[in-house]
Each structure stands twice: as C-alpha cells, then as structure tokens.
A and B are shown apart, each in its own frame.
Chain A
Amino acid sequence: MKAESFVLTGALLFGVPLLAQGRPVTVTGVRGLTYGTVLPGVARIILRTDPANSGQFDIRGPNRNQVLLSFVLPAAMTGPSGALMPLSFSAGDAGYSQAQTIGSQVGFDPRQPFTATLSNNGRGSVFVGGRANPSTNQRAGAYTATLTLNVTVLP
C-alpha cells in the first residue's frame, strides 16, 4: 500500500508540470482596431493604449514560456467599389502585456517579430494601434482590413 501511494504521488508530481508546459498555444482576437469616422485628407491615429479603439489579442500557452509574436499587417483597408485607404504602422504601435492589462504594455514594432514571455499562468495580451491615411478624395463609406497575429512557442 505504501509503495502504491509513492508511485501514484510520483506520477502526479511529474505529470502536472508537464501538462502545464504542454498546453497548446491559443490566440484569440478580442477587439478590432477601430478608426471610427475619418475625414478625407485627415489622417487618424489610434494608439495601442487606447482602451476602446486599439486592437487586442489574448494568448494562452505554456507557463512562463517564451513565444515569438509576428504580425501580418495590411497595407490598406478596402472600401466601397474596391477603394483603398492606406494604413501605416510604426515602431511602438504594438504592445505586449504579461498581465493582460492595457496599462502595463511593453511596446514593440509590429513590423518586426518580437519575443515575449507568457505569465506564470501562461497568459499574455497583445495590443495594436496604427494610422489610417485617407486621401483628400477618399471615397465615402465603410472600410475594413484584417490583421493577423502569429504566435509560436519557442523551445
């Protein structure tokens, strides 16, 4: 009986950390990047610290593991009859928060891969802002584009 207990306890002790490390990484798009109403010829900038309009992704994965973040960023949004509105992203337009709070981000350049560390419980959030550049004769209407965040668990 004593031997059985020892073996079972050993399996649990080793099994739990391995389970946590082995959690598959998941990424969730939480909030879109919203430029709202823009005027022809007037650029609109959304900061990554904007709690209402910045984009947000939540990440879950292995506890305390490093992950590589890389964006696929659109060059423009598409609007009525295929009209395009240029977008631009610059250094500091993205931020990573281990605590998953918009007020505790570490800024990074969304155009470059960035290495981040997940929290003790395997979580993190990425925030992103950017600039919309409507031309002076930009066609009126609704415009959309897709931003994709790739997350790779580093060994």
Chain B
Amino acid sequence: MRIITRLTLAVTALVVTSTVAAQAQTNNASITATATVQTPINVTAAQQLSFGNVFPGVNKTVNATDLTNAGRFDVTGQASTPVTLSFTLPATLLSAGNSMPIVSYTGEYAGNNLQTGGQVFAPASGANPSLSAAGLLFVWVAAQVQPATNQAAGVYTGSITMTVVY
C-alpha cells in the first residue's frame, strides 16, 4: 500500500512538470535607445571687411584686430565644443571687369566680440577653436589690397566664405 502511494505521488509530480513545460514558451523584454543632440551650428556674417578709400599704387592693410573694419563672423553652437574653421578666400576684388589683388589674409578668433583672449590664425590654413562656455565664437578676417598705379576707379568687392563644422 505504501509503495503504491509513493508511486502515485511521483507520477503526479511529473504531470505537473510537463504542464509547466508546455507554458511560457515565448517571452520578451525591451531596452531603450538614447541620444542627445547638440545645438546646431549657426554662422552669421556680422561685419564686412572694409578697406574704405584706397589710392592707385598704394597698398592698404586692414588688421584682424581692427574691430571696425575687419570682417567678422559670429558663430553659435554647442557650448565648449571644438569646431573646424575653413575659408574660401578671393585672390582679387572685382569692379565692372576690373580687378584688384587682395592678399595676406590674417585672422583672429575669440569667445567674445571684444577679442579678449583672442587667438591669431591664418585663414588660408583654417583653425580649430572651441566655442565658449556660452556657445559663442567670433572670428575676424582681414587682408591687404594692392591697387595698381593705374587702378580704375570704382567700388571693388569680393566674397569671403567661412565654413564651420563640429
């Protein structure tokens, strides 16, 4: 009698086990993908590079430290983040089919518009500054024009392009 009882218990256990095996054959779980996007870069042409009046045969230089006449680009973006500056620099200024050489580009950048703590650089080589803690960068560009002795009178212009990437 005792033997039969034990055997019955064992079989019962196996049946229960088989029932469990038939359940829960599928399951799933999820994880989260996350990213944080930094502030996009924005560049503004804030001030033109202005040589003012020039005279035939007299070179004229504007320095990058000239806050009034040097060209200035203003950059906003992610705070304290390094960026790469590159430039397209014209070799001449044009006026109605006449040209005037523009050479010896110089540059300076700073985290403020007063050039406090500014760094000099060569625009032709580009630069790798960082945006300020406020996400700002100011870049000045200057050069020298070389009017010929017979330079035709007129208004001469050219375009300087600065590209900024993270």
Contact = CB atoms under 8 A, between A and B. Distances in A.
The answer to whether A and B assemble together is yes
Interface of A: 3-4, 7-8, 10-11, 14-15, 18-19, 21-22, 24-40, 42, 44, 55-57, 62, 74, 77, 79, 85, 87, 128, 130, 132, 134, 136-153
A16 to B, nearest CB: 10
A64 to B, nearest CB: 14
A47 to B, nearest CB: 14
A32 B31 CA distance: 5
B30 interface: yes
Nearest to B13: A15
B33 A147 contact: yes
Q: Give the dominant DSSP class at A's interface.
A: strand
A82 to B, nearest CB: 14
A19 to B, nearest CB: 6
Interface residues of B, number: 34
Interface of B: 2-3, 6-7, 9-10, 13-14, 17-18, 20-41, 78, 166
A136 to B, nearest CB: 7
B9 to A, nearest CB: 8
Given A29-B31, A152-B25, A22 B40 contact: no
17 contacts: A18-B14, A19-B20, A21-B21, A25-B25, A29-B30, A37-B36, A37-B37, A37-B38, A39-B38, A74-B33, A137-B40, A140-B40, A142-B34, A143-B34, A146-B31, A146-B33, A152-B26
Nearest to B2: A4
Contacts of A148: 28-30
B20 A22 contact: yes
Contacts of B39: 140
Residue in A74, A128, A136, A140 whose Cβ sees the most chain B Cβ within 10 Å:
A140
B38 A38 contact: yes
B32 A28 contact: no
Given A22-B21, A24-B20, A145 B27 contact: no
A7 B38 contact: no
A55 B34 CA distance: 10
